[in-house]
Amino acid sequence: AQKVTQAQTEISVVEKEDVTLDCVYETRDTTYYLFWYKQPPSGELVFLIRRNSFDEQNEISGRYSWNFQKSTSSFNFTITASQVVDSAVYFCALRGMDSSYKLIFGSGTRLLVRP
């Protein structure tokens, strides 16, 4: 069975702090894809990043960085120098190779960045 666990329900930081959101996944597929989405207070889900199971290279995009480690089945997300606009719920998701291409979402981490 496939599963995504985001153990941190809510994180509160002060602006300019660095924060890491954890994501641990379970799958028996050898090929799979991992995603991060941001849900701001307005509600829409915004796609942030995708990572393939065969590509463990970490990625940095501005203040955002992602650490993918197959050995620990983790795909963690770090925001450097957080800003108030980063306040949102962040979801990690897993997709296997069945034809529906369903996403298995974690329960989300609510990030509050205080000024």
Stretch that binds another protein, among 14-22, 39-47, 57-65, 68-76 (CB under 8 A): 39-47
Of residues 60 and 97, the one with the C-beta less far from another protein: 97
Regarding 99 and contact with another protein (CB under 8 A), the answer is: yes
Instruction: Tell me how far apart the alpha carbons of residues 96 and 115 are, in angstroms, rounded to a whole number.
Output: 39
Signed CA dihedral, 22, 3, 89, 50: sign only: positive
Whole-number Cα distances in Å, 55 to 28, 44, 50, 51, 95 = 17, 28, 10, 7, 15
Of residues 46 and 84, the one with the C-beta less far from another protein: 46
Regarding 35 and contact with another protein (CB under 8 A), the answer is: yes
Provide the residue type at 6 as one letter.
Answer: Q
Residue ranges that bind another protein, judged by CB under 8 A: 33, 35, 37, 42-45, 47, 50, 52, 91, 95-97, 99-103, 105-108
